[in-house]
Structure 1
Amino acid sequence: MRIRTFSKAHIRQEIQLRCQSLAGNDNRGFKQEFEELNDVGKELPTRAGELEVNKEKNRYPHILPYDHCRVRLSLQDAQPNGDYINANFVPGGSSERDFICTQGPLRNTMADFWRMVWEQNVSIIVMVTALRHKDVVLCDQYWSMARGTVYHGAFQVNTLSCKQGSHVSITYMNLKQRGYPTERLITHYYYPSWPDRGVPRDTSALCGLAEHVRQQIEATPRLGPAVVHCSAGVGRSGAFVTLLWLMQLCERGVSPDIRAAVEDLRMHRMWMVQNVEQYVLVHKCLLNWLSRGTAANLDRSPPSQGVHPNSSRSQVRTRGSSSQGNRARRSHQHEQPRALPDQTHSIFQQLLEPRNLLRRLLPSSLQLPQTSSEPKQTNQNFQNVHTKP
């Protein structure tokens, strides 16, 4: 049996019918489905974050990274616990490490944050929180919107330009480690309109940001994951990554299983998509995006200065089919499916490694599409983003 793909119109109709069913009786279906996820991942250990030496590195003492997929920094100065940062690798449809979800940096963890960005070859950072809410600091400001250079530990962060829109600010920065000639271009998205533990009023702006970031990821050859963070790095970060993941599936004609995606994210970082309002938001935004297919008016051109973060590497990791993350639908009555090419035996075996996301979320009887043969579906306007030195 082959993975079956469908038009966006078909997927939209399917999701719309499902949302109507779940929304009845004051969102009873949404609430029940979300409650079923309450205990997912709670048994997983968080020993590193619980160590006394690492407690001051956690913005919230009860939100800690799972040990099995936490991001480890390189050890420096023979410090046995110097590899700790409150961050987890999470899947996004292509691998177990498509994204890093992390807390908003503290003053004493800014240098660690930039070290993580450097060591993990990150080129895209998405910040979905304001810096403050009234008198509460949600995230310490670890970058500058004004042109100039700041230093965080061994790293030099040089802001090249900043474009401020009505909802999103995009800052382009060069990141450099002291003593090394290589510079890397970082694109930073700042979306402060999303309230802590809540949902934004303007879902169209959020959909536009997600679509813009999705196309950037598709069009930019990268070796490392994208970083997504809010304040705690669980609720809003989880909702944003879920939305990106499902958009990628829909672009490839795969009907997304939203519950399964959230469940898998919660096996990688606790409390991803923190409340039922955010769970409903993911459904609404996906439906909004499928219905309109429009992106926000964001700046699509990086500055001419700076070096692409991966320009010095001879190999790049290209994104595989994002259908590697959800259950393909087994039957559809009103549309003739088009089959994707058969997977070769060697790649098929590789994708069935126990750590691979696909083994958990697709029925074992399905054949997998060959990554190299699937046409790349990107907006031509994004093809040259970050590719010029």
Structure 2
Amino acid sequence: MGLPDAKSLLQRVQTFSRAQILQEFHFRCQALAANDNRGFKTEFEELNEVGKDLPTRAGESEANREKNRYPYILPYDHCRVRLSVQNTNPHTDYINANFVPGGGSERDFICTQGPLHNTMADFWRMVWEQNVSVIVMVTALRHKDMVLCDKYWPLERGTVYQGLIQVTTVTVKQGPDYFITTINLRQRDCPTDRTITHYYYHSWPDRGVPKESTSLWAFTEHVRHHLEAIPRLGPCVVHCSAGVGRSGTFVTLLWLMQLCARGIQPDIRAAVEDLRLHRMWMVQNLEQYIFVHQCLLQWLSGGTGRTSAGPQIQGAGAKMTHPSQDQPHSSSGRGERTGRSRQHRHRQKPPADPPQNTIQQILHPGNLLRRLLPSSSLLNPGSNTS
């Protein structure tokens, strides 16, 4: 007798009410936070080796080195975003970006570094070729004299040209802790244009966490509702400076919100492990790892309950400023770039063979996280908690 298919298995998965998920997650966070966050530390340390032997040959090649913001934050070869080849030059397909899972497939998101001056045209070419309609930027442009991300779009109404793509800022709206910009894209010799929504959450400190968990989960919730309300024609682009720490934290939180909203118990460790198999060092440090738990717990409680995931972590946040002022908010001048420099000097082992499509693999938490979400018809409609 053959194995049941994935869909029939997923139909049997039990779903829970928001109150049940909150109660279980509350107890789990309390257990992880006991004895000076010992559980959090253990889980995070267990993730240190995940993905570190996956090859990054394209990013290491001499022709592409100047396209990397940080020399040791490179995209894995097996899931890197490939651009169209220009002028028969094979190296023109490179950009420091990876497809990562996050709700419905292996390619729900693209996590990438903040564009450099010499990669801005490539960035917009990626947005065009991948049919992206939403960009989420979770970094300031500068910290003191250090550029964290080059200004790749007009901050106010106006037009710039990036390669063959015309980038026009149409409107800019201010949210509580972020800016929402509507951008019009037009490619030369193409009769149609496209609309991009650009979210700019700039008060998140480099290598740290926002000062208040409410700020991040409310922002993430806003983006989640937007993504669920529009046709998913292409992946959502998420970037910070290196595209690993803050980007990974945001994607993890959004992913788990989607999961909980459909009545599925969250597994943050499994989500981070899965992300790290697609881009190195996603959710870069313990502070960010704990902060995901805090944000999710507060979101589940409706924003009114006290965070029970250990002591409140204080990030180096600051008051809202207009993005044109380029005000920095950083807890470390080292930035996200240094996280795995030693670990990634030597990587020769090839990636492991893809897992067999067995019942055990289908029900692995990392697989369930995204396989349960593409169609709400797979879930108990009475358990939807969104």
TM-score (norm 1): 0.78
| Deviations, residues 10-53 of structure 1 (Å, cap 9, x unaligned) | 11111111111111121111011100000000110000000001
Report the equivalent of 1:287.
297
- State which of 54, 71, 81 in structure 2 corresponds to 1:44: 54
User: Is the counterpart of residue 371 in structure 1 residue 375 in structure 2?
Assistant: yes
User: Is the counterpart of residue 21 in structure 1 residue 25 in structure 2?
Assistant: no
Report the equivalent of 1:238.
248
Give the C-alpha shift of residue 287 in structure 1.
0.5
8 Å Cα contact 2:271-2:366 kept in structure 1: no
| Deviations, residues 327-368 of structure 1 (Å, cap 9, x unaligned) | xxxxxxxxxxxxxxxxxxxxxxxxx869xx95643799xx97
Distance 1:18 1:277 in 2: 17
8 Å Cα contact 1:66-1:270 kept in structure 2: yes
Report the equivalent of 1:314.
none
User: Is the counterpart of residue 225 in structure 1 residue 235 in structure 2?
Assistant: yes
CA RMSD of aligned residues (A): 2.3
| Deviations, residues 127-162 of structure 1 (Å, cap 9, x unaligned) | 000001111110001011211111100000111100
For residues 46-125 of structure 1, the aligned pairs below 5 Å read 46-125=56-135
Bigger shift: 236-245 or 160-169?
160-169
Distance 1:22 1:127 in 2: 30
User: Is the counterpart of residue 130 in structure 1 residue 130 in structure 2?
Assistant: no
Give the C-alpha shift of residue 373 in structure 1.
2.7
- State which of 157, 173, 183 in structure 2 corresponds to 1:163: 173
Give the C-alpha shift of residue 219 in structure 1.
0.9
Aligned letter for 1:163? K
Q: Secondary structure at the match of 1:71?
A: strand
Distance 1:29 1:148 in 2: 50
Distance 1:251 1:169 in 2: 25
Distance 2:234 2:372 in 1: 24
Q: Secondary structure at the match of 1:82?
A: helix
User: Is the counterpart of residue 35 in structure 1 residue 54 in structure 2?
Assistant: no
Distance 1:254 1:378 in 2: 10
User: Is the counterpart of residue 255 in structure 1 residue 265 in structure 2?
Assistant: yes
8 Å Cα contact 1:145-1:161 kept in structure 2: no
User: Is the counterpart of residue 215 in structure 1 residue 219 in structure 2?
Assistant: no
Q: Identify if the C-alpha distance between structure 1 residues 360 and 18 changes in structure 2 by more than 3 Å, giving closer, same or farther.
A: closer
8 Å Cα contact 1:353-1:359 kept in structure 2: no
Q: Secondary structure at the match of 1:4?
A: coil
| Deviations, residues 273-293 of structure 1 (Å, cap 9, x unaligned) | 000000001000000111116
Aligned letter for 1:236? R
Q: Identify if the C-alpha distance between structure 1 residues 172 and 279 changes in structure 2 by more than 3 Å, giving closer, same or farther.
A: same
Unaligned runs of 5+ in 2: 1-8, 305-355
Aligned letter for 1:160? V
Q: Identify if the C-alpha distance between structure 1 residues 145 and 259 changes in structure 2 by more than 3 Å, giving closer, same or farther.
A: same
Bigger shift: 276-285 or 200-209?
200-209
Q: Secondary structure at the match of 1:189?
A: strand
For residues 265-284 of structure 1, the aligned pairs below 5 Å read 265-284=275-294
Report the equivalent of 1:297.
none
Deviating runs (4+, > 3 A) in structure 1? 357-360, 367-370, 374-379
Distance 2:373 2:144 in 1: 50
Aligned letter for 1:259? R
Distance 1:81 1:209 in 2: 37
8 Å Cα contact 2:104-2:372 kept in structure 1: no
Report the equivalent of 2:343.
none
Greater RCO between the two (CA within 8 Å, min separation 6)?
2
Q: Identify if the C-alpha distance between structure 1 residues 368 and 286 changes in structure 2 by more than 3 Å, giving closer, same or farther.
A: closer
- State which of 346, 359, 365 in structure 2 corresponds to 1:361: 365
| Deviations, residues 241-294 of structure 1 (Å, cap 9, x unaligned) | 000110000000000111000000000000000000000010000001111169
| Deviations, residues 183-239 of structure 1 (Å, cap 9, x unaligned) | 111000000111010010021111111001111111100210000000000000001
Report the number of matched residues. 319
Bigger shift: 97-106 or 15-24?
15-24
Distance 2:66 2:255 in 1: 32
Report the equivalent of 1:11.
21
Distance 1:154 1:60 in 2: 26
TM-score (norm 2): 0.78
